[in-house]
C-alpha cells in the first residue's frame, strides 16, 4: 500500500509537471515552430490571460468561460501587436526577438503601474482527494486533462482545418503559398494570435492556483523556454514528447530535493541535451524517420 501510494504520488507529480510544461510551452512553440520567432513577451501574454480570467471570474462569470475569455483577450492583444510591430521585422528574425523583450518590459511595468503590485485571485476550485497519506488537488487533474485536450485540439486545427493547412503551407514555402493565393500576412497574424491565445489559456488555467502579480509570467518562461529548446520546431513531434521527458526529470528531482532542484535539474538536463541533439527532439525524430 505504501509503495502504491508512493507510485501514485510520483505519477501525479509527473502528470502535473507535464501539464505545466505543455501548457506553458505550447503557445511559445506554435509561434516558434511556425515563424521562427521566440516570443520573449510570452510571460506577459500568460499574465494577460491570468488577469483577465481572474477579474472575469470575480465578476461572476463561471470559471471555464472566464478562462476562455482570458485566452481570447490574450489572442487579440497578440494579433494587435503582430500587426503593429512584429510584422515589420519578419526579415530580421533576431531583431524581432529583441523587440518582444521590449514589449515585455513595457507590459510588466505597465501592469504594475496601472493595476498595482498584486491582484486578488480566486481560490482553487474543486477541493481535494486523498490517496494513502497524502491529499491531492482535484483541480490539478483538470489541468492535466486540459493539457491533453489542448494538444488534441491543436492537432485537429493543424491537420483538419483550412487554416491549419494554409498555415503549414505558408511555413513550408512562403512565397509559393503566396503565389497560390494564400493571404500569408493574415496567416502570420492568426498564428501569432493563436500562440498568444494559448499563452493566455495557460495563464487563465493557472490563475486560480497562483498569486497574481505583474511578474508572474517569469514563473512560466524558464519552463516554456527549455521545453521548446529540447523539443525543437515541431509541437507534436517535439514539444509534447519533450514535455513528457522533462516532466519525469522534474518530478523525480522535485520529490527528491524540492522545487528548486527540479528547476535547476531541468536546465542542466537541457544544456546537456542540446550538446547531443542540437535540433531538439524534432530533429532527432525526423532523422530517424528519414
- Planar angle of CA 131, 133, 136, nearest 5 degrees: 50
Which CB, 109 or 211, lies closer to other proteins?
109
Could you tell me which residues come within 8 angstroms of residue 23 by beta carbon, excluding any fewer than 6 positions away? 143, 146, 147, 150, 198, 201, 202, 205, 206
- Residue 249 to residues 37, 84, 242, 246: CA-CA distances in angstroms? 27, 40, 11, 5
Q: Are 231 and 238 in contact (CB under 8 A)?
A: yes
CB of 38 to other proteins, least distance (A): 5
Rounded Cα distance, 178 and 226, in Å: 33
Nearest to 128 by CA among 209, 19, 66: 209
Rounded Cα distance, 195 and 212, in Å: 21
CB of 270 to other proteins, least distance (A): 7
Which CB, 85 or 131, lies closer to other proteins?
85
CB of 199 to other proteins, least distance (A): 15
Which CB, 106 or 138, lies closer to other proteins?
106
CB of 208 to other proteins, least distance (A): 23
CB of 257 to other proteins, least distance (A): 12
CB of 156 to other proteins, least distance (A): 28
CB of 160 to other proteins, least distance (A): 29
Which CB, 89 or 148, lies closer to other proteins?
89
Which CB, 97 or 147, lies closer to other proteins?
97
Which CB, 131 or 222, lies closer to other proteins?
222
Residues engaged in binding other proteins (CB under 8 A): 32, 36-38, 40, 85, 88-89, 92-95, 97-99, 101-110, 112-113, 215, 218, 221-222, 225-226, 228-229, 260, 263-264, 267, 270-272, 274-276, 278
All three cell numbers of 38: 521566440
3-class SS of residue 135: strand
Rounded Cα distance, 281 and 250, in Å: 18
Which CB, 66 or 99, lies closer to other proteins?
99
Rounded Cα distance, 15 and 148, in Å: 10
Q: Are 192 and 82 in contact (CB under 8 A)?
A: yes
Measured from the Cβ of residue 251, the count of other Cβ atoms closer than 10 Å reads 21
CB of 220 to other proteins, least distance (A): 11
Which CB, 113 or 145, lies closer to other proteins?
113
Amino acid at each position: 500500500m505504501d509503495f502504491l501510494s508512493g507510485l501514485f504520488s510520483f505519477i501525479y507529480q509527473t502528470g502535473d509537471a507535464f501539464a505545466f510544461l505543455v501548457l506553458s510551452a505550447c503557445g511559445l512553440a506554435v509561434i516558434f515552430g511556425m515563424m521562427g520567432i521566440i516570443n520573449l513577451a510570452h510571460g506577459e501574454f500568460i499574465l494577460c490571460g491570468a488577469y483577465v480570467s481572474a477579474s472575469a471570474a470575480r465578476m461572476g462569470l463561471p470559471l471555464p468561460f472566464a478562462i476562455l475569455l482570458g485566452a481570447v483577450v490574450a489572442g487579440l492583444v497578440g494579433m494587435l501587436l503582430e500587426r503593429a510591430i512584429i510584422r515589420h521585422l519578419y526579415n530580421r528574425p533576431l531583431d524581432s526577438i529583441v523587440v518582444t523583450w521590449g514589449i515585455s518590459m513595457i507590459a510588466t511595468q505597465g501592469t504594475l503601474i496601472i493595476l498595482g503590485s498584486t491582484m486578488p485571485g480566486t481560490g482553487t476550485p474543486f477541493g481535494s482527494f486523498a490517496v494513502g497519506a497524502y491529499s491531492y488537488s482535484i483541480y490539478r487533474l483538470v489541468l492535466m486533462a486540459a493539457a491533453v485536450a489542448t494538444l488534441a485540439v491543436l492537432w485537429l486545427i493543424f491537420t483538419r482545418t483550412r487554416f491549419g493547412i494554409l498555415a503549414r503551407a505558408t511555413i513550408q514555402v512562403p512565397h509559393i503559398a503566396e503565389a497560390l493565393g494564400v493571404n500569408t500576412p493574415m496567416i502570420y497574424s492568426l498564428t501569432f494570435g493563436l500562440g498568444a491565445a494559448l499563452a493566455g489559456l495557460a495563464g487563465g488555467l493557472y490563475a486560480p492556483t497562483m498569486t497574481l502579480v505583474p511578474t508572474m509570467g517569469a514563473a512560466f518562461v524558464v519552463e516554456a523556454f527549455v521545453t521548446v529548446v529540447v523539443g525543437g520546431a515541431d509541437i507534436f513531434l517535439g514539444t509534447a514528447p519533450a514535455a513528457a521527458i522533462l516532466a519525469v526529470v522534474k518530478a523525480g528531482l522535485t520529490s527528491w530535493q524540492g522545487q528548486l532542484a527540479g528547476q535547476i535539474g531541468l536546465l542542466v538536463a537541457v544544456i546537456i541535451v542540446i550538446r547531443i541533439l542540437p535540433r531538439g527532439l524534432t530533429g532527432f525524430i525526423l532523422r530517424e524517420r528519414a
